[in-house]
Amino acid sequence: MVKSGLPVDEALGPLAAALGARGAAVLEAPPGAGKSTVVPLALLGEDWAAGKRLIMLEPRRLAARACAERMAQSLGESVGRTVGYRMRFDSRVSSATRIEVVTEGVLTRLLQGDPALEGVAALIFDEFHERSLQADLGLALSLDAREHLAPELRLLVMSATLDGAAVASLLGDAPRVSAPGRLHPVETRYAGSGPPALPDAAGAGAQHAPERLVSQLILRALREERGDVLAFLPGAREIRRVHSSLAAAQLPAGVQVMPLFGDLPGEQQDAALAPAPAGARKVVLATNIAETSLTIPGVRVVVDSGLARRASFDPVSGMSLLTTRRISRASADQRRGRAGRLEPGVCYRAWSEGAHPSLAPYTPPE
């Protein structure tokens, strides 16, 4: 088994043994361990994977593309050969593809169209803590397929922040494997007067209070710290407001402000993920698209609004509704970890230290 030099290497042997013997496993590994890009390539060499494909669910399009590109790069290949991806309106796979990184809708259609999953050795559910309706449905259909149609199918659930015991129980008391992380120290600076301020609770005339505080914290971070800044906001609307606010402010020379959200064209997403030019600094205004499975070169400062736009299923209407909510402590830890991926960093939180324990421990499922 080829080693990558990343912390997840320590878990590869036990993980392969668990999947070989039990057919299912849960991998708990903190941000920076390398699970999203190392594990699929390592499992490709197992006897039970010979001549078959591995399919990895990556909830977000940007992360799916980035993971596939990183794995292909490590093999010295272009995307679409050994490693490819499939998502709505964008697919790069071939007859030679052995690892497919897919998004949620693609996985659901795959399971519905071919319940026996012919030619598939394993399904890998990455970042399962996000607990979307389609990811949960995908796991349920996979468990059903394994029980009735494809007993040799391996199932692996991976996450940095997950109630591993509950998921392991769901998988038939599957083995839990853990890996260390490789985070550098991150100093946390609390800057709010209470919990993260929800827009509808900000009071008359103060609907944009959360964005104003984030703008102030970004300017403070640029004064106090070196390196690039990654700011988390709940949605594109808030990103545009903060972008406008920063454009009107007295930004230091050489600072570039870039948005990063799901509906942004691919070229603009790539620009936000690329290193800043020599002598310049970058401020990336992102949704929770940048919370997991991505490393943005140069970032050593995170500014966290403490808010996210999340889907919740309404059983009365049968529809999913998008609402702005406070994030969980697990999500806050994920965001904080973005500042320590490459070197020691700093995280500014737009809420008080006393209010932090009031946040939910984990992100609730959709």
As a whole number, mean pLDDT of residues 4-21 equals: 90
Q: Does 292 lie in the same domain as 147?
A: no
What's the pLDDT score for residue 97?
97
Q: Does 209 lie in the same domain as 150?
A: no
Does some domain include residue 260? yes
Residue that is written with structure tokens 């803590």 in the block: 129
What's the pLDDT score for residue 182?
67
Q: Does 115 lie in the same domain as 256?
A: no
Instruction: State which residues form the domain around 119.
Output: 9-178
- Taking only the tens place, the pLDDT of each residue in 91-111 is 999 999 999 999 988 999 999
Q: Does 51 lie in the same domain as 155?
A: yes
Q: Does 347 lie in the same domain as 201?
A: yes
Q: Does 79 lie in the same domain as 55?
A: yes
Q: Does 173 lie in the same domain as 128?
A: yes
What's the pLDDT score for residue 259?
96
What's the pLDDT score for residue 327?
95
- Phi, psi (rounded to 5 degrees) for 164: -60, -35
- Taking only the tens place, the pLDDT of each residue in 287-321 is 998 987 777 889 999 999 999 998 777 777 777 78
Does some domain include residue 364? no
What's the pLDDT score for residue 205?
44
Give the DSSP letter of residue 222: H
More confident residue, 60 or 73: 73
What's the pLDDT score for residue 316?
78
CATH number reported for the structural domain that contains residue 255 in this entry: 3.40.50.300
Contact 21, 7 (CB under 8 A): no
The CA distance from 58 to 358, in Å, is 30
Q: In what order do the strands lie in the sheet with 176-178?
A: 90-92, 83-87, 99-102, 53-57, 120-125, 154-159, 24-28, 176-178
Question: Does the pLDDT at position 157 exceed 50?
Answer: yes
What's the pLDDT score for residue 200?
62
Secondary structure E strands in 136-271: 154-159, 176-178, 186-190, 228-232, 255-260
Q: Does 237 lie in the same domain as 271?
A: yes
Q: Does 170 lie in the same domain as 192?
A: no
Last residue of a domain, one of 142, 157, 178: 178
- Taking only the tens place, the pLDDT of each residue in 251-260 is 988 999 999 9
The CA distance from 102 to 61, in Å, is 8
Last residue of a domain, one of 178, 202, 229: 178
Q: Does 171 lie in the same domain as 40?
A: yes
Q: Which of 229-233, 235-239, 279-283, 288-292 has the lowest mean pLDDT?
A: 288-292
Contact 294, 66 (CB under 8 A): yes
Last residue of a domain, one of 121, 155, 178: 178
- Taking only the tens place, the pLDDT of each residue in 172-227 is 899 999 988 767 899 999 998 889 988 765 444 455 678 999 999 999 999 999 99
Question: Does the pLDDT at position 356 exceed 60?
Answer: yes
| Alpha carbon 111 to its chain's center | 23
As a whole number, mean pLDDT of residues 163-170 equals: 82
What is this structure's pTM?
A: 0.82
* 230: its two tokens: 């990654």
